Amino acid sequence: MAKAAVQHACSECGYTTGKWLGRCPACSAWGTLVEERALAPAPGVRGAAAEGRPLLRLVEIEATDSERIPTGVAELDRVLGGGLVPASLVLVSGDPGIGKSTLLLMALRAMSSERKAVLVTGEESSAQVKLRADRLGGAGDVRVLAETNLDEVCATLERERPEVCVVDSVQTLYAPELGSAPGSVAQVREAAGRFLRASKEHGIATFLVGHVTKEGAVAGPRVLEHLVDCVLHFEGDRYRSHRVLRAVKNRFGSTNELGVFEMTSAGLEAVEDPSELFGRPDEEQPGSAVVCTIEGTRPLLLEVQALVSPTDLAMPRRVGTGVDPKRLSMIVAVLGRHAGVALGQADVFVNVAGGVRIDEPGADLGVALAIASAARAAPVKQGLACFGEIGLTGELRHVAHADRRLAEAAKFGLDDVVRPGEGIRTLRDALRGAKQARAA
Ligand SMILES: Nc1ncnc2c1ncn2[C@@H]1O[C@H](COP(=O)(O)OP(=O)(O)OP(=O)(O)O)[C@@H](O)[C@H]1O
Ligand SMILES: [Mg+2]
């Protein structure tokens, strides 16, 4: 049977099918299937005589850990795991206007003093980039290519062989032979594949800027996230000035690292002490608790806020911003079952300060304490912090790096820390401990 010349691909998940469908069978999104031309292999190409290649012994391969390139933006280095790995491909994604172009232009400028640095801009004109550079305090020796044709971009990179390159954004590039619109699944996949080849073959460390969909996923196929070496998410509250950069995937480092910035008119400034920013409730109020978490290698104090409000809904709501919804439901259940905080008739809302997301189990106790405080309308004592993992049986478990958490709390003058240990073995004990601290 002849191969279909046209196929339909889902712009959300990359699923392809021969015929058009209203709903994607793979991800159940409506109206996301778009037509694209399938490239038939040129006659005679397939099955060309391949003889196979000799195998190598892994032990015999000589590899030196290549030196990382400092990006000039310390927080970005931290998230990358100690600098940019030469010839790596890094995807930076984030909401519109969050500051992706700003961050990468700052890094590129810093790197351009010692390395050949190229900015491929498909989204803005060279003049717009210049205006931004002026605002950020200079353009260094950054070279600009305003181009959206993928062939041209790749040919230029091959000729120029820069050491670092930023592509802003991967969704604006198009390969004319594919015939589909820029930003479509096929185009994004093709562009990423070509940059992958270019970066590995010519040793170009490449940053790709990627847009995100409404749901926060990187637009285009998931395939993009598999292709690249690192995926960094730039997020934060757009209505406030701080931004958080985190690694979602990193082939060369930890994915727990967090970079915190503040957006100013002169660009992004590193926030040296995020605990100061996020872990300082202004006043004592019911429903607010400070938790010591560990994000990657650094301890971080975060304020967790909760609201508990009576509801008539048959299924009360549990809404968490910055907390995993499953974890939140679990904590609410344990509070009800093992700590005497009944929440069956109440909506529970939880929010973590500063748009930071906590994935670490050590923050469980902070969430529980905030909810209990909101439910009982009794504020947690100012100057009290907590950490600890909550188990399904209501016990409080030890978590890693307790000493570093305590040191961070002490640094900010929080001397009362409720944590698993002597006398505090269960969630009930911890709540009682917090109450006693208040009474004392
Ligand atoms: N003069 C200024 N003073 C303070 N902040 C500014 C100023 N100009 C721009 N910004 C900030 O920079 C942000 C835009 O940054 P940038 O263009 O790098 O974002 P982006 O993520 O690349 O956006 P896009 O998705 O449109 O490419 C604005 O949302 C604003 O917060
Ligand atoms: Mg931009």
pLDDT at 222: 64
103-136 pLDDT tens trace: 999 999 999 999 999 999 998 999 999 999 999 9
pLDDT at 91 over 70: yes
Model confidence pLDDT, tens digit, residues 261-274: 998 888 899 888 88
The pLDDT of 285-297, averaged and rounded, is: 88
Angle at 127 between CA 124 and CA 132, to 5 degrees: 75
Tell me the CA distances in angstroms from 212 to 112, 123, 221, 234, one per residue in order: 28, 15, 11, 10
Nearest-atom number in ligand 1 for the CA of 124 is 27
- The average pLDDT across 163-185 equals 87
Q: What is the pLDDT of residues 196-220, one digit of tens each?
A: 999 999 999 999 998 876 555 555 5
Task: For residue 135, give the ligand 1 atom closest to its CA.
Answer: 1
pLDDT at 332: 95
Per-residue pLDDT band at 326 (split at 50, 70, 90): very high
One-letter amino acid of 82? G
pLDDT band at 44 (very low <50, low <70, confident <90, very high): low
Mean pLDDT score of the chain: 87
| Cα-to-centroid distance, 263 and ligand 1 (Å) | 8
Among all ligands shown, which has an atom nearest to the Cα of 263?
Answer: 1
Tell me what pLDDT residue 392 has.
95
- Mutate which of 76, 102, 261, 262 to test ligand 1's pocket (most atoms within 8 Å of Cβ)? 102
- Residue 105: the pLDDT is 94
Query: Which residue blocks in 240-303 are alpha helix, DSSP H?
Result: 274-278
Ligand 1 residue neighbourhood (C-beta within 6 Å): 94, 96-102, 123, 263-265
Mean per-residue pLDDT, 153-168: 94
Residue 6: strand pairing partners: 37
CB atoms within 10 A of CB 66: 11
> Which residues are in the CB-under-5-Å shell of ion ligand 2?
101
Nearest CA to ligand 1 atom 4: 265
Structure confidence at residue 219 (pLDDT): 57
Average pLDDT of the residues in 76-83: 92
Residue 186: pLDDT band (50, 70, 90) is confident
202 vs 3, which has greater pLDDT? 202
CA 292 to chain centre: 20
Nearest CA to ligand 1 atom 7: 265
Q: Which atom of ligand 1 is nearest to the CA of 94?
A: 21
Kindly report the protein residue whose alpha carbon is nearest to atom 9 of ligand 1: 265
| Residue ID of nearest Cα to ligand 1 atom 15 | 99
104 CA → ligand 1 middle, Å: 12
Q: Reduced to 3 DSSP states, what percent helix, strand and coil does the chain have, rounded to the nearest 5?
A: 30, 30, 40
Report which bound ligand comes closest to the CA of 262: 1
Q: How confident is the model at residue 221 (pLDDT cuts 50, 70, 90)?
A: low
Our mutation pick for probing the ligand 1 site, out of 73, 95, 100, 120, counting the most ligand atoms within 8 A of Cβ, is 100
Rounded to an integer, the average pLDDT of 180-205 is: 88
Check residue 255 and give its pLDDT: 80
The mean per-residue pLDDT over the stretch 61-68 comes to 79
Answer yes or no: is pLDDT of 193 > 70.
Answer: yes
Q: Which atom of ligand 1 is nearest to the CA of 98?
A: 21
